[in-house]
Each structure stands twice: as C-alpha cells, then as structure tokens.
Structure 1
C-alpha cells in the first residue's frame, strides 16, 4: 500500500513539474526515469535561481510621503539628504538617506529645516518630488 501511495505522489509531482515547465514555454523533459522510478531533475528546477529577481526598471513606481530634517544638500549632483521617520509605503524604518531632487526642491530648503516631502520610489532608489518646510 505504501509503495502505491509513493508512486502516486511521484506521478503527481511529475505531472505538476511538467505542467509548470510547459507553462513557462520550455520543452518538458521526461519527469520520471523508467529504470528507477525516481523523479528525474527538471530543467525548471536547475540553474541559478538568484537571477529570478525583476529588473529595477520593471518595478512600478511607488508614491510615498515622509517627514524629516534636511541634513545635506548637494546642488551639483542634485541630491538632498534627509533624516526621515518611517515610510510605511516603502516599508522603510526611520533613517538618513540621500535622494535625487530637482533644483526647485534643493533651492526651497536649507540644512536643518524640518520638512514634509513627497517621494517617487523605484526599487530602492527615490526622488523627492515635492517638499514643504514645517513651521
């Protein structure tokens, strides 16, 4: 009885792997080796799975809002550094981070200003798209 259950489990796994492989548009390999009745390795299960991450350009931009203090401005590179509180939309804890910013943003504030700001995030990079000094 146990042998029959194991064969059924192997067959179910083999059919599932074949279906997944076919769904990926790859040629299916024989999922079961006839001589040993053991599942054969599938092409869908080999290779470097570390390459499976999406390209950053494929990620959809996230709009977020934050609150913090300006700690540095580099007008030459168009960067503004903010010591900000947690940003839930990005799942970021409070930290100090540099962001791209247009000249209209970097000209509107100075180091030490407490600010509210809007971000557009793509992957782990962000750009400050609006900023307002807090009273």
Structure 2
C-alpha cells in the first residue's frame, strides 16, 4: 500500500513541475510538455511563443491550397519539395489552427512554415504569395 502512495505522490510532483515558471514568469526550458497552441501571431505569419517538443524541428514550404476542412482542422497543400523534411513534392493534409484555416481558400498560392515532429507536420504559419 505504501508503494502506491509513493507512486501517486511522485506523479503529482512531476505533473506540478510541468507547468512551472521561473522567477521572470517564463516557462522553464526543461518543460517538455506538449507544444502550446499557436496564438494570434500565427495569423500574421509569425510563430508567437509556441513551445516545441525536443524532437520537433521547423521547415518552410511553398505550394497551393487544394482543400480546406474546418471541421477536421486541416489545410491540404500541393507543395514543392521540403528539404528540411526530406519530402518530395506531394499533396498532403496538415493540421492547422482555426485562424490559419480561415486565412486561406482553395486555389491560394502560399508560403508556409510547418512544425515537424517525426513524420507528422503541422502548419504554424501561412501567407498568400
């Protein structure tokens, strides 16, 4: 029974540390919680104060919007090769924040930034050409 109490206490302390901030109010650099949702700065093409997982990296791309699915939260792009991801040109759907989805329509030629985490990519900024 004591082992369960110790495990629960350890879990509570670990979870409390995930959201900790330093004295200046900034999140600690050791925080490895899931990336924060992109803020309004993304609609203007910036990345805001978005946190990234340790395995995530950024990439830039260009392409054409072929579909917008607000209910699924995705933008489908027919994009040129993306060197940082080692991806050839292809058409694929990317998750995106609602403000980014609202900012484009089918047929728009765009420049975009994606956050890569493994084989998955999420549009974090997009701007019409």
TM-score category of the 2 structures, normalised to the smaller one: 0.5 to 0.7
- Residues 1-135 of structure 1: matches in 2 within 5 Å? 60-134=55-129
TM score, norm. by length of structure 2 = 0.58
Structure 2: tracts of 5 or more residues without a match: 1-52
- C-alpha separation between the residues in 2 aligned to 1:82 and 1:59? 26
How many angstroms does 1:62 deviate by? Answer: 1.4
Q: How many residues align?
A: 77
Structure 1: tracts of 5 or more residues without a match: 1-57
TM score, norm. by length of structure 1 = 0.55
- C-alpha separation between the residues in 2 aligned to 1:64 and 1:125? 12
Which has more helix, going by share of residues? 1
Greater RCO (Cα-Cα under 8 Å, separation 6 or more): 2
Q: Max radius of gyration: which structure?
A: 1
